[in-house]
Structures are given as structure tokens and as C-alpha cells.
Amino acid sequence: MADAKPTEFSAGGVVVRGDQVVVIVPTRRAANGAKVLALPKGHVDPGETPLQAAGREIREEAGVDATPRGDALGAVNYWYMRKGKRIAKQVDFWLFDYVGGDVADHDHEVERAEWMPLSEAATALTYDGEREMVARALSRISSDG
């Protein structure tokens, strides 16, 4: 997507508890109608930093509270279609440590939230960019000791 600047920005998190990560199945389906296995993420609201938005989206979509660990993991850039128009989007991700809460306490935008082994999520998530964020989280966790 180097040929265009993103026009939409979102933020999300890789929330870890031991060797597990929170994943969600949003109620919104993929373009082909398939269910999506994803990380919690969403739009940055006015007056909010991307990191604050990531924490809020984690609470809303995954039902858990978490604290950030270090700098951003990176950004995922992609295109999607809305009303026949191509939209360039960037989602910034951070690594978070689970603090509390229950994955059953997610909002209406999510069909299901659950804990999954990090190693499984690195291959099971629907989108390449999110699988890469989990792989980066695994790398950071192993280098942190």
C-alpha cells in the first residue's frame, strides 16, 4: 500500500495471559461471507490516542482489561471496499498483558471471544497481518525472558 496514505486509522491489541492470546469472532463477516477469527481492534475516537483506543477496543470486544507492554508491535495496512470505493486503512497494534475480566463480557459487535494458544493463533487468525502481529508478540515475549 506504499502508493497511498491510509485514510482510516484503527488500533488493536495482542492480549496475552501466559502462553495464550485473546481472539474474537466478530459478528461482521469477511467479504466472502465467512466467519473471521481476529484480534480486537477498532477506530480511534476523537481525543483518543491510538494506544488508548487499543485498550478501549480490547475491553469492548474481548471483555478483558489489559496493560500495554512496550512500544507498538507494528502496523497492518490494507485496502477494503465500502460503497464501491477503495479505502486505505492502517491498524496499529500493541502487545498487552491481561489484567482481569472475562472474555464472555464482550460487546454486541462480537459473536465470541476466547483464549487461544499464541502458537495456534499465529497460524489460525484469518488475516496475514494479524498473524504477523502475533508472531511479533511471540518474539518479543521470548526475548523479554
Three-state secondary structure call for residue 115: strand
Say which CATH architecture domain 8-144 belongs to. Answer: Alpha-Beta Complex (3.90)
pLDDT in tens, 42-96: 999 999 999 999 999 999 999 999 999 989 999 999 988 888 899 999 999 999 9
DSSP 8-state symbol, 63: -
pLDDT in tens, 101-127: 999 999 999 999 999 999 999 999 999
CB within 8 Å of 26: residues ≥ 6 apart:
36, 38, 61, 109, 110, 111
pLDDT reported for residue 3: 54
Domain range annotation of the chain: 8-144
pTM: 0.92
In the numeric block, which cell numbers belong to residue 16? 496475552
pLDDT in tens, 40-57: 999 999 999 999 999 999
CB within 8 Å of 21: residues ≥ 6 apart:
14, 15, 39, 115, 116, 117, 118, 121, 134, 137
